[in-house]
């Protein structure tokens, strides 16, 4: 069993991704956006958004056919910067993270990328290909986010269970490679033992 965090900016598709692959009915803490939040949560680029995650999303995915059978516990973070303190709690014991990116609003991804770099947790970047959005090559996004070559960047559709499962498998492989390459790295080693 492994714990995985799915993070990213406001409205990038985290709740959708958890719901797309979960073997159980996902736990969701979605609440309706209110007039009171308009000064805090900008809807620029996501004007049709009516709800937001206020604590976390939780789902579970069994992968019995993986090279090593896995059960993943998925924790989706709230996307607004004001909830970043909660990300520390959600990340405790996780093997790694998926940073979901909306290329139409790339600036909303910097907080999540910086967060996982700062805490030393392995992560992959998943480009959620929204309908009608321009398709950027993963290397263009790598350059824009200033990611090292070691961080996988993968295109996906957060609504597609196969795409999301592929991203999760890529994360697990990346995290295991990261740990085996740096066995004395306390964050990764501790996370694997706690997962």
CATH number at residue 109: 3.40.50.300
Higher-pLDDT residue of 72 and 85 is 72
**Confidence category of residue 45, pLDDT binned at 50, 70, 90:** low
Closest C-alpha to 87, from 65, 111, 64: 111
Find out whether 94 and 5 touch, Cβ atoms under 8 Å: yes
Euclidean distance between the first and final Cα of the chain, in Å? 7
Find out whether 60 and 27 touch, Cβ atoms under 8 Å: no
Note down the domain range covering 21: 2-194
DSSP string, 125-172: EEEE--TT-----HHHHHHHHT--TTS-EEEE-TT-HHHHHHHHHHHH
**Looking only at Cα atoms, what is the longest distance across the chain?**
49
- Give tens-digit pLDDT for 8-23: 988 889 999 999 999 9
Does 60 have pLDDT greater than 60?
A: yes
How far is the C-alpha of 19 from the C-alpha of 30, rounded, in Å? Answer: 12
Q: Which of 32-46, 97-111, 160-174 has the lowest mean pLDDT?
A: 32-46
Q: Which of 45-49, 61-65, 69-73, 132-136 has the lowest mean pLDDT?
A: 45-49
How far is the C-alpha of 156 from the C-alpha of 56, rounded, in Å? Answer: 22
- Give tens-digit pLDDT for 82-141: 778 889 999 999 999 999 999 888 888 899 999 999 999 999 999 999 888 888 999 999
Find out whether 171 and 98 touch, Cβ atoms under 8 Å: yes
Domain total in the chain:
1
């Amino acid at each position: 069993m492994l714990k995985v965090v799915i993070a990213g900016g406001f409205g990038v598709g985290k709740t959708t991704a958890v719901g797309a692959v979960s073997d159980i009915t996902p736990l969701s803490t979605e609440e309706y956006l209110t007039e009171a939040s308009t000064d805090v949560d900008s809807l620029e680029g996501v004007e049709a958004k009516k709800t937001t995650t206020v604590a976390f999303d939780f789902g579970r995915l069994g992968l019995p056919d993986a090279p090593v059978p896995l059960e993943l516990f998925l924790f989706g973070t709230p996307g607004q910067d004001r909830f970043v303190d909660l990300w520390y709690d959600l990340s405790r014991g996780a093997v790694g993270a998926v940073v979901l990116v909306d290329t139409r609003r790339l600036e909303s991804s910097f907080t999540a990328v910086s967060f996982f770099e700062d805490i030393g947790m392995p992560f992959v970047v998943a480009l959620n290909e929204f309908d009608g959005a321009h398709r950027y090559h993963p290397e263009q996004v790598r350059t824009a986010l200033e990611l090292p070559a070691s961080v996988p960047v993968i295109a996906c559709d957060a609504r597609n269970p196969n795409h999301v499962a592929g991203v999760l498998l890529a994360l697990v492989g990346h995290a295991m490679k990261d740990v085996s390459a740096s066995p004395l790295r306390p964050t990764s080693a501790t996370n694997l033992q706690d997962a």
